[in-house]
Structure 1
Amino acid sequence: MLELIIDTPPALTNESWRARGRCRDLVGTLTPLFFSEDFYEIARAKAICSACPVMNECFEAAKARHEPWGVWGGELFENGQVCRDKRPRGRPPKRPRPQLIIEEVPLPPDLVRA
């Protein structure tokens, strides 16, 4: 009998940290937020990540999996690479836009886990 052995990186096999993530609401309500194209939603997803106890584990696992897009560990991935700033399409503005400061919007009480 031929046995196939696949060498899987440790980041892919030991992901018990996922259960402690702030984004895990067990019903997928927040999932679209982390894969949005809207700048405000991306900023909100990053704000949720900023207070997450497993932010570093999430980021490292996303890098190991070569995630193609989305917010992982507080960073935006595009085409498998960390994207520092997402630019809107079209020409840049003639006058600089004010810096966005987005605070985390509290989750509804029925979605908060203890």
Structure 2
Amino acid sequence: MLQQPQEPQWTPVVQVQRPSRDLAGPWHSAAACRRDEAGLFFAPSQEPTAARLAREQAAKSVCARCPVLLECREHALVQPEPYGVWGGLTAAERRVVLSRRRRRDAAEAASPQARRIA
């Protein structure tokens, strides 16, 4: 009996250190996370759910005291950053924000008021 070939497990590789062009911008040097362990903000492969939730909460607590939280968040939304906690949001939370923005933008573009203004 022939066995079905197993699909290889895909584990995303996260590059924690970014090239300097990605770090350009005055907000980055003031980020609270510059002093913290990068592993706090990015998940190790096959992290158990309870550990992931605890790690994400710890990362968000660093973000909560960050003076450039909004700049960081907007950077992660514009790029878009596919992994990690950025600006106090996880990747899943950022996908929700982006989805809402797209729906809002589509609704604004379709509204009669938006057509009259343009």
Is contact 1:70–1:76 with CA below 8 Å preserved after alignment?
yes
C-alpha distance 45-31 of structure 1, shift in aligned 2 (>3 A): same
Is contact 1:59–1:73 with CA below 8 Å preserved after alignment?
yes
Is contact 1:69–1:76 with CA below 8 Å preserved after alignment?
yes
Gap runs ≥5 in structure 2:
1-21, 44-50, 98-118
Distance 1:63 1:41 in 2: 21
2:57 pairs with 1:39? no
Which residue number in structure 2 is paired with residue 58 of structure 1?
72
Q: Alpha-carbon deviations, 1:22-45, whole Å to 9, x = none?
A: 0002xxx51111012611110000
Gap runs ≥5 in structure 1:
1-11, 84-114
- What is the aligned-residue RMSD (CA, Å)? 2.5
- Quick one: which amino acid aligns to residue 39 of structure 2? P
Larger Rg computed on CA atoms: 2
1:13 Cα deviation from its structure 2 partner:
8.2
Which residue number in structure 1 is paired with residue 33 of structure 2?
23
Runs of 4+ displaced beyond 6 Å: none
Structure showing the higher strand proportion among its residues = 1
* Count of residue pairs brought into register by the alignment: 69
TM-score between the two structures when normalised by the length of structure 2: 0.51
2:89 pairs with 1:75? yes
TM-score between the two structures when normalised by the length of structure 1: 0.53
Name the SS of the counterpart of 1:68 in structure 2.
coil
C-alpha distance 61-41 of structure 1, shift in aligned 2 (>3 A): same
Structure showing the higher helix proportion among its residues = 2
